[in-house]
Structure 1
Amino acid sequence: MAATKRRQKFMAVSGLKMKDFAASFDLQILNRGNDYEEAVLSITDVNRPGLQFLGFYDYFDPRRLQVIGKAEVMYLKGLTGAERKKAFDDLFLYDIPALVIARDLDCFPECLESAQEHERTLLRTPETTVDFTAHTIEFLNRKLAPCIGRHGVLMDVYGEGVMLTGDSGIGKSETAIELIMRGHRLVADDSVDIQRVSNQLIGTSPEMIRHYIELRGIGVIDVRQLFGMRAIKVESQIDLVVQLEQWDNNKFYDRLGIEDHYTEILDLQVPCVTIPVRPGRNLANIVEVAAMNNRHRRFGFNAAEELARRVDERANLGISKKN
């Protein structure tokens, strides 16, 4: 158990380099700071320094990207040149990753002068402040999300993200091929990169092996080339984990499914079912049913609980008739 916990321990991305972020958003560089090549964005939040221009720096986190828009510019226009210079000097005294001017607004001479003196990065974007802030937070949530790699196969089955796990050679890839031939889509084979974005687990394939499946006896095949674009998907939310294992006659397997079982990935609980494998069992059929049943449970319908309720009602009715 302790070993399993260690394997599942995840690592957060240390940060996104400021130069890479600026390139992704095609930001105009007004002044390149001395740390432009090495500065990183390590948190997903951004800040509009309106209160800071008023001199309030309590609870100010300099790790956040700073963004000013029309509201801040209109306030700064009402200040004298000396007051604006002091406002920007006070801000640039902190080791901020960069200051971004939205809406392609003109840069105050005092702002550029202060950025050059303190060697801070100054950028500009044509996007509105609201749009840029929203896009930045969404982008950073993805880039800085905690991540982990897991051995398995990830499929999109009836819109459900199903991750097949189990020992090597148990039949995960063979099951995936049959599911693909039935119209379902492959996300990743052999290795699944999993990110926790908010309270969702998003799985994708490492770039090097994306769209490839290894079949023992045949070798490596390119699913996209053989089956077309309909057979692949770049990423999927992980809704269900299906654990494949060799059939053990001495082990009890759940036949009713009243109890819900979960596995923990990146500190989130994911529904999990264990499917015993032996000759004659059609795993693709079972996985399809497991995916549909998991969706029904998520929408509030549990067939096992419904059956138990009917049995209880019949038993109570029999007792009432005897009395």
Structure 2
Amino acid sequence: MKSVTVHDLVQRFSFEVLSGSEYMNAVIPKPRVNRPGLEFVGYFDFFPHAHVQVLGSKEINYLHKLSEAERNLHIGNIAKYHPPCFVVTRNLDGLTYLKKHCETEKIPLLRTSMPTARCVELIDSYLAKALAPEMAVHGVCVNVSGIGILLRGKSGVGKSETAHTLIRRGHRLVADDIVVLKKIGPETILGTHSGKTKEFLALRSIGLVNVSRLYGRSAFQDETRIVLDIELTKWQDNALNNELELEPKFTEYMDIKIPHIEIQLQPGRDVAGLVEAAANNWYLRQQGYSAAEDFMKRLQSDD
């Protein structure tokens, strides 16, 4: 798991640093922000002190209405837990008392012009991805008609060439060679690139190509939710199944099961087309449609 500091947060969102610039290396260990409310009235039993503390109009207006002694008490009770930082939204001012406590407890105080709800949403999303458990797998990640697919297989089997064909058909590359998988929820795996390989696709006999420069910006996207794991394998006679509906298989990544499909390769076989079919068929299943069930109903209606 990567670490995120207050400095990373400031760089990401261009926050104004009101105080504590010398404490920018403070680590943010938890992915969700907290808006202190109950804490201002003295309830600290479940105070998430390791989270970024966001103060919006409600919190600041409440503090402004208190006496100096009450403000010092309420803010001091929170500051003594040493949260990573405070973020004040909507460019709210009159924060002298807040600066004093932050300076005393060595806590960075940040400010932004963003509305509170938007600020919370963006920080939560950023921290959820940055602090998510992750692993790297060898393969190619593509987005086919809005559906994230991980293409795997032995070196030289044709993963990158298949991705190239998909890109030429209007789909998008996410990562080639090394795919970084991030667990951002109990059932959600996000696929992205390592940074260094961003936009690059390695094609045998051709070399590296930059898909954005070759085919336009729409040929690449930074990340996608992985919903299909497709393994490309060499052709084996009599090894293909011809059942109306195959038994579902899964590949597990960080305790999350992803539907798994094997596609065998053979000269002249439209592998990219089969990947498109697999993606579209997965989408139809999510809508509650099964081609096999539909076909069987038709047979039974003839009887």
Q: Is TM (by shorter chain) over 0.5? A: yes
Per-residue Cα deviation, 1:151-187 (whole angstroms, up to 9, x for no partner)? 1112222332222111111111222222223333222
- One of 170, 176, 189 as aligned partner of 1:201: 189
Please report how far the alpha carbon of residue 254 of structure 1 lies from its aligned counterpart in structure 2 after TM superposition.
Answer: 5.2
- One of 137, 151, 158 as aligned partner of 1:150: 137
Which residue does the alignment assign to 1:3?
Answer: none
Which residue does the alignment assign to 2:286?
Answer: 298
Please report how far the alpha carbon of residue 140 of structure 1 lies from its aligned counterpart in structure 2 after TM superposition.
Answer: 1.7
CA contact under 8 A between 1:257 and 1:304: conserved in structure 2?
A: yes
Which residue does the alignment assign to 2:214?
Answer: 226
> For the structure 1 residues 69 and 288, does the alpha-carbon distance in structure 2 shift closer, same or farther, using more than 3 Å as the test?
closer
Classify the secondary structure of the residue corresponding to 1:46: coil
**Residues in 1 aligned to 2:61 and 2:206: alpha-carbon distance in whole angstroms:** 68
- One of 136, 149, 161 as aligned partner of 1:174: 161
Per-residue Cα deviation, 1:3-34 (whole angstroms, up to 9, x for no partner)? xxxxxxxxx43x31011102222222222076
Which residue does the alignment assign to 1:239?
Answer: 227
1:83-94 matches, cutoff 5 A: 83-94=70-81
> For the structure 1 residues 243 and 90, does the alpha-carbon distance in structure 2 shift closer, same or farther, using more than 3 Å as the test?
same
Which residue does the alignment assign to 1:65?
Answer: 52
- Write the letter of the residue equivalent to 2:55: I
> For the structure 1 residues 74 and 235, does the alpha-carbon distance in structure 2 shift closer, same or farther, using more than 3 Å as the test?
closer
Please report how far the alpha carbon of residue 104 of structure 1 lies from its aligned counterpart in structure 2 after TM superposition.
Answer: 2.1
1:83-162 matches, cutoff 5 A: 83-162=70-149
Which residue does the alignment assign to 1:79?
Answer: 66
How many residues align? The count is: 302
**Residues in 2 aligned to 1:108 and 1:287: alpha-carbon distance in whole angstroms:** 57
Structure 2, unmatched stretches of 5+, are none
Give the alignment's TM-score, normalised by structure 1: 0.84
Which residue does the alignment assign to 2:12?
Answer: 24
**Residues in 2 aligned to 1:58 and 1:206: alpha-carbon distance in whole angstroms:** 40
Greater CA drift, 304-313 or 52-61: 304-313
1:25-40 matches, cutoff 5 A: 25-32=13-20, 36-40=23-27
CA contact under 8 A between 1:47 and 1:67: conserved in structure 2?
A: yes
**Residues in 2 aligned to 1:275 and 1:136: alpha-carbon distance in whole angstroms:** 40
Give the alignment's TM-score, normalised by structure 2: 0.89
**Residues in 2 aligned to 1:228 and 1:118: alpha-carbon distance in whole angstroms:** 50
> For the structure 1 residues 55 and 262, does the alpha-carbon distance in structure 2 shift closer, same or farther, using more than 3 Å as the test?
same
> For the structure 1 residues 184 and 127, does the alpha-carbon distance in structure 2 shift closer, same or farther, using more than 3 Å as the test?
closer
- Write the letter of the residue equivalent to 1:145: A
**Structure of higher CA gyration radius:** 1
Please report how far the alpha carbon of residue 138 of structure 1 lies from its aligned counterpart in structure 2 after TM superposition.
Answer: 2.2
- One of 250, 254, 257 as aligned partner of 2:245: 257
**Residues in 2 aligned to 1:179 and 1:119: alpha-carbon distance in whole angstroms:** 52
Per-residue Cα deviation, 1:218-247 (whole angstroms, up to 9, x for no partner)? 322232333333433332222222111122
**Residues in 2 aligned to 1:75 and 1:226: alpha-carbon distance in whole angstroms:** 55
- Write the letter of the residue equivalent to 1:74: N
